[in-house]
Structure formats: C-alpha cells, structure tokens
A and B are shown apart, each in its own frame.
Chain A
Amino acid sequence: MAPLATPGASSPSETTSADLLRFAAIGSVDDGKSTLIGRLLLDTRQLFDDQLEAVAAASRRRGGPALDLSFVTDGLRAEREQGITIDVAYRYAATMTRKFIIADCPGHVQYTANMATGASTADLALVVVDVTTGLREQARRHACIAALLGVDQMVVAANKMDLVAWRAGPYERVRAEMETLARRLGIGACTVVPVSALHGDNVVVPSSAAADYYDGPTVLEALESARAGSWSAAQGAHAGTAARLPVQWVLRTGTGRAYAGIVDGGPLRVGDPVVVLPAGLATTVTAVRTYDGPIAEAPVGISVSVELADDLDVGRGDMIAAEQDPPQVTGDLEATVCWFGATPLCSGDRFRVKHTTRVGPARVVEVRSRLDVHDLSLAPASELADNEIGVIRLATGTRLAVDPYRANRVTGSLVLIDEATHATVGACMVGPPSIGPLGLAG
C-alpha cells in the first residue's frame, strides 16, 4: 500500500465548492428524522402550497396531527403503509449561502445497502437522536457506517426536547454520548443541537428554550457553516492525494486526442508532469479544456478533457495521475467490504469489479475478519452475511491504480458486481476499516 500521509499532496479544499453541501440524514426509527427533514424544508420555505396540502390531506386520512411533517419525505406506498423508510430519498434545499443535497436514509438493518448509497457521497451526517431514549442501536450502527464511508463531520439533532420540558439533563446526556461516539469514530467535528422538530425549535428558527445551557447554532446554521465539497477528498486528519483523472472517454479533436473525465484528489494543471496508469508511462499535460474553452487548471470535481505531450496508448479505464504522488498499481488488494449479497461472501467467490472507470474480473482470495459495529472490533471470520462488514483480500484480473480509501474516496473505492445477474452486491474500500482516529488494524 502507498503510505497514508503523502508529503506534498495538495489539499483540494481551496478548489472545491463551498456552496454545495451533501449530507446524509440518519437515525433510529421513531426518533423523528422524517419530521426533522420535513421541518427543515418547511422552515426554509422549500415546500410549495400544493405539497403542503398533500401532506395535510395525508395527515387527515391517517387521523394524526393537522400537519404531520413526516409525510413530506416518505415517498413510496409501502413506506407510507408501514410507516418506515425503505430507500434513500433525496431532497433539496437552498438558502442564501448554500445548496443542500439531502440523502434521507432508511433505518432498518436490512436496508443497509440503501443507507450506504446515501452516505457514500455525503460530506456530513445529520444524526437525529430522541432525547427521551438516548442513542439507540440503529443510529449507532448508521453513524458507524457513515464514518466507515468517510463522513467526518456530524451534526446531531437532540430531538423531542419539548417532551422533557427542555431540561438540560437529557440534552447533556445525549451530547456526552454523541461526543464519545464521534471521538471513537474519528469524526472530528460534532455539534449537538437541542431541538424540537415537531415545534420547529432550533431547527431553522432559533429558540430561547435552551438558553440556560446552549448558545450554539441551530441545525441549519451548523449545516451552513460545515465544510462542504469534501466527499471525494481525504478524511479528517488524513493526508489526501494529488491529482487523479480516471479516463472516461476519448475525444478526437482536430489535432489529436483528448482524455475526458472528472479530476479528483487535487487540481490538474497545464505543464504538470503525469503518469498514465497502469502502464506507467510518463508525460506532461499540454492542455486542459472544458467544452467552453481552454483553462489553466482543472479544479477537483469538474469534467474536463486533457491533452498530453506524447502520443501514448491511453483509453477508458486508464488513469492519468500526478507523477509526484501516484497511486499504487496492484492486482492484489486488502479491502473493507460492505456485503449486500443474498448468499454469504466466501473466499473463492468471483465477481466483476468496477473501480473508477475500469471494469474487470476479480476473485476473493480470503475473507479475513468481520467488523462488530457495536464495539468497533474486528474478529476473524471466513464468510460475511448480508449487510455485514468485514475485511477481505481481493485479486483482480486487471491491475488497478488505487489509493487508500481514507486518502481518496474515488480511487479508493470499488463495487462488486454479480457475474450472473449484474447486480451490485458489495462495496469495497481499499485498506482496513478507516474508523477511529488511527483506523483499525486489519
């Protein structure tokens, strides 16, 4: 594996956007997550009159309160009938300062794949905890999976404060619990806000009810001031990588070829010395373009095409990487896997893997261990059941240019594809589980 901390790797934070925050909303069933999201949308005026009327009508039909905000987010018939969330729902909100993409994630263990889908691109987790019960199993599990997927900021809504008469005790208990959890998960930023989603206190509109013991931000203020655009960058204190451009598409220009894709890790500039991987050919970037014209530097997250000084054999699935800090090229990986298959994952199982823009065959050489999400320990294991997380060794039939997941979410991730059905059955992160300040030993 490449070293975790790479001197000279540039930070993407200067070039990624500050005005788009993606966050995953997570929590145990009945802690009020749907109501909190509904409240956030209502009070930032994202809901239209006809949508509100539909929510009011649904509330009336089910004999609940006049405006049950949880109906804003539950979309599928089965979800409304069962009162649960099955799949991620995406919601959008915009304020004066930011656009938010909200992945409203399901709580049940059997929907872990959907939760991971929502968390995999999140900059932050919004965790809803019921102060009358404290942190429960589902929310703990979800916070753990979010951290594993690289989420390193957390805003906690200590919800239902109205039910405990806004007393400090229950809030402080949740705050202590969540700060401890955040420390264990290696989540550096954790803000715990006392709220009542039902009444709208401290979600968007500040409340004085907790003034005696809380002078922090509302949930919205915490979301507006969080670090944005970090999902594809390094986690927390870990060093990131320099520029990587997985080649998606080759454009034939009048003068030659241009290699198109999204740049990650760090910006790519005209004149940068680069290597084309896995072949390892060295060359130089001679042009960076968007459709609208040439630019001097490709910022992280932006679709560009680049031209190279030498006439090389470069195609889809190859990676153009900064020469100074290239990824490791290997066909033998240790990875943390979230397994979603119907039958257990065992050594010898064969798949197709997709890593960046490259697809090829792979074989599980060994299932090594299983992660216990309660105590974050790894125990030896020889197979993984549906929704379990563990560490495996993977042999790939084509060499891949990989970085540790904690250094780069794009070049450090791959999915396992069932060869018979083509379904996506596993999500792999290169390296041991990156939970906790230093990660766990594999």
Chain B
Amino acid sequence: MTATDTAPTATDTRFRADHLALLESHAIFVLREVASESERPVLLFSGGKDSAVLLHLAVKAFRPGRFPFPVLHIDTGHNFPEVLAFRDARVAELGEELLVARVQDSIDRGRVADPGPGRSRNRLQAVTLLDAITEHRFDAAIGGARRDEDKARAKERVLSFRDTFGQWDPKRQRPELWRLYQGRVLPGEHVRAFPLSDWTELDVWRYIEREGIELPSIYFSHRRPVLERDGMLLAVSEWVQPSPAETVEVASVRFRTVGDATCTGAVRSEARTVEAVIAEIAASRTSERGATRADDRFSESAMEDRKREGYF
C-alpha cells in the first residue's frame, strides 16, 4: 500500500493542487516568511538531496531576484569529493554567496576536541554551526530537516526556537497555529526554519524527479571499495581504512543521505536513475537514517540529545 499513488507527469499537474504542489507551495511560503521576518537569515546547505531541494525552492521563491540570504555549509572535513564538487558547481551556477564554516577550525581553536582520525565529527558540527550563527549574528537558519526522519524531529515546529545557548527545549516550544509562522527573537536567540517539515523521503525523491533537480553522483549506483562496520557499509576513504579484521570489497552502492563520511553508510543498489531509486525506496524495509546513519543507531534519544545541543 505504501506510496504507490499515480506518478504525476510534469505537464498535467503543475496547476493541479496535488500533494507535491501543496508541499512545494507551503515550503515556498515558509521561505518567504522567514526572509521577511528575520533580520539576518541563512540557508544551511550540506550538499545532500534535501538541501538541493531547498536551493531549488529558494529559486522558485525569489527569482528573478537574488536570494535574501547567504548559503552556509558546515564542513566536517570528512567530505565525499563528489559532494564538494556539486556544492561549488551549484552555488556558482546560481551566483549566490557561499559561506563555509569548518569543524577543523573549531578543533584548531580548541572549541571542541578532535575525536581522532576516522572518528565521526557529526556531533561536533553543532558547535561550529552555533559559532557561525553567533559570528554572523544570524537570527534564522533554514535547514532541510524533515519530521519523518526521526521521532525527535517529528515533534519539532516548522519554525523552531533556539535560546541564546542554541538549545532546543522540546517542552517549551512556541505554539504554531495555522500558517502564522512567528520567528521574532531577542538578540542572541535564533530560530531554525524547516520548510520541508511535512515532506517524506519519498516526497523528496518524487519532487526531484518531477523537477529534474540535479544531485551529487553518489546518490546513484556506482562501484566503489566499501567495508562493513557495525552493520553498515562504509566507503573506504582517507578517514575510513580497514582494520586487520575487516575486508574491503568493491560493490555497487548508492547513498541515501550525505553526511560525515565516517558515519554515513551506503546501501547496495543498482539504481542509476531517479526513477530506479524511487522504486527501490518504495520497496525498502529500512528507514533512511536506520540504513545510513551510524550515530542514530545506539540510542532512542540520540537525535533528541543532539538537537538539545544545537544540532541541525
């Protein structure tokens, strides 16, 4: 029964208010509200599919004008080269301003401890992000998080308040009625804005298909050396090297999410097109984060704890 509604085609649905059109319109609405009501908004861009969709929606919301905010990448230093290439090409093509805040700089300045070579820097990103927000005095950070990703995210508002420490307090969220999004904050506070809140993984892929949105090549099946660790398939890289007990194989894989390369798992796949990926996801029995994020696999509160600390 899952997700088999009739696939819309580009021509007959644009003016039919089907569910993708409504999700798109709502996301554009949120982007325009945040851009209007916040003094210094910023759009967070990871190079992943959700942020590629966000950029596409920003184009629809603000062209022929320029974006009313810069684009910020929190760089863990553990990147897939394909994703960095995609980031730079996409931002250059749009002619928008790109800011990069590096976790390595936070480590060098002693803000966070280096977890060591090959260890995930995922959690450290929160500090780098909050420092960038403070430095640039951003009062709104727009991100591509979705409520279907995790049970803590499922509880979060579209505009989610952060105190002067960057903390999310799930027991004290602002009421958020109708479409009256309210992002006013005091100096030092900010909101996170999530225009894709009500989108599911499948909605994102259907939208990518409908709109012809370009993605980093690692989202599609390719052959690369991988090793299995903690039940996940990790790409062999500068930061992920086999221990004596681990064996490297060359496999056909794709990624369902893009994050710190040390904790982002691949899935075995032959899907080389968006259409093939959608077919695989519709039949998948594993959630997006369960399949591919080592950091969420150990505790039922992992995401809630990271969010309290200021994570995306």
Looking at the assembled complex, report how far the CB atom of B284 sits from the nearest CB atom of chain A, in whole angstroms: 7
CB distance B17 to A17 under 8 Å? yes
Contact of B64 among A50, A253, A359 (CB under 8 A): A253
For window 284-311 of chain B, which residues contact chain A by CB distance below 8 Å?
284-287, 290-291, 300-301, 304
One digit per residue, 1 when the CB lies within 8 angstroms of any chain B CB and 0 when it does not, for chain A 414-432 equals 1101000111100100000
- Given contact pairs A101-B198, A262-B25, A303-B24, A50 touches B290 in the complex (Cβ within 8 A): yes
On chain B, the residues within 8 Å of A253 by CB distance are: 64
Does A25 make an interface contact (CB < 8 A)?
A: no
Against A, the Cβ 8 Å flags (1 = close, 0 = not) of B171-212 are: 101111111101011100000000001101011000000000
Q: Contacting A54 at CB < 8 Å: which of B14, B59, B175, B300? A: B300
- In the bound complex, residues from chain A placing their C-beta under 8 Å from that of B304 are 75-77
Give Cα A116 to B178, complex, Å: 9
Smallest Cβ-Cβ distance to A72: which chain B residue: B151
Q: Does B113 contact A (CB under 8 A)?
A: no
Contact of B28 with A303 in the complex, beta carbons under 8 Å: yes
Q: Contact check: which of B4, B18, B61 meets A17 at CB < 8 Å? A: B18
Q: Given A262-B29, A291-B59, are A50 and B286 neighbors across the interface (CB < 8 Å)?
A: yes
Surface stretch bound by A, among B31-39, B45-53, B83-91, B129-137: B31-39
Chain A, 387-442, CB within 8 A of any chain B CB: 409-410, 413-415, 417, 421-424, 427
- Whether A260 is near chain B, meaning CB under 8 Å from some CB there, is yes
A283 at the interface (CB under 8 A from B): no
Given that A114-B173, A260-B32, A303-B29 are known contacts, is A94 also in contact with B202, CB under 8 Å in the complex? Answer: yes
Please give, as numbers and ranges, the residues of chain A lying within 8 Å of B152 by CB-CB distance.
Answer: 75-76
Stretch touching chain B among A2-10, A80-88, A207-215, A271-279: A80-88
Task: Name the residue among A89, A149, A253 with the largest chain B CB count within 10 angstroms.
Answer: A89
**Inter-chain CB contacts under 8 Å: number:** 198
Residue B154 at the chain A interface, CB threshold 8 Å = yes
Query: Residue B213 at the A interface, CB < 8 A?
Result: no
Known: A248-B36, A249-B36, A251-B64. Is A49-B286 also a contact (CB below 8 A)?
Answer: yes
Given the interface pairs A17-B22, A248-B36, the reply to whether A415 lies near B182 with Cβ below 8 Å is yes
Q: Which of B17, B154, B180 contacts A301 (CB 8 A)?
A: B17
Write out the residue numbers on chain A whose beta carbons fall within 8 Å of the beta carbon of B63.
251, 291
* Interface residues contributed by chain B, number (CB under 8 Å): 65
Q: Which of A99, A355, A415, A423 contacts B177 (CB 8 A)?
A: A415
Distance between Cα atoms of A49 and B28 in the complex (Å): 33
Give the complex CA separation of A116 and B177 in angstroms: 7
Indicate if the CB atoms of B25 and A87 lie closer than 8 Å.
no
A347 within 8 A of B: no
Complex interface: chain A residues within 8 A of B21 (CB): 17, 302
Which residues of chain A from 82 to 126 have a CB within 8 Å of any chain B CB? Answer: 86-92, 94-99, 101, 113-114, 116-117, 120-121
B35, A249: Cβ atoms under 8 Å?
yes
Asked whether B1 lies within 8 Å of A45 as measured between CB atoms, the reply is: yes
Instruction: Pick the contact of B17: A101, A120, A302 (CB < 8 A).
Output: A302
B29 with A46: CB separation less than 8 A: no
User: Per-residue CB proximity of A336-372 to B under 8 Å, as 1/0?
Assistant: 0000100000000000101101010000000000000
| Complex interface: chain B residues within 8 A of A340 (CB) | 175
* Cross-interface CB contact of A410 among B170, B178, B300, cutoff 8 Å: B178
Q: Are B177 and A120 in contact (CB under 8 A)?
A: yes
Does chain B have a CB within 8 A of A19?
Answer: yes
Q: Is A295 an interface residue (CB 8 A)?
A: yes
8 other contacts beyond A73-B151, A229-B17, A290-B14, with CB at 8 A cut-off? A73-B154, A78-B170, A94-B200, A252-B65, A261-B29, A302-B25, A422-B184, A427-B177
Q: Would you list 10 pairs from A and B whose C-beta atoms are within 8 A, ordered by A residue? A: A50-B286, A87-B155, A98-B5, A120-B177, A248-B36, A260-B61, A262-B179, A295-B15, A303-B60, A303-B61
A residues apposed to B, CB below 8 Å: 15-17, 19-20, 44-46, 48-51, 54, 58, 73-78, 80, 86-92, 94-99, 101, 113-114, 116-117, 120-121, 149, 229, 248-249, 251-254, 260-262, 290-293, 295, 297, 299-303, 316, 340, 352, 354-355, 357, 359, 409-410, 413-415, 417, 421-424, 427
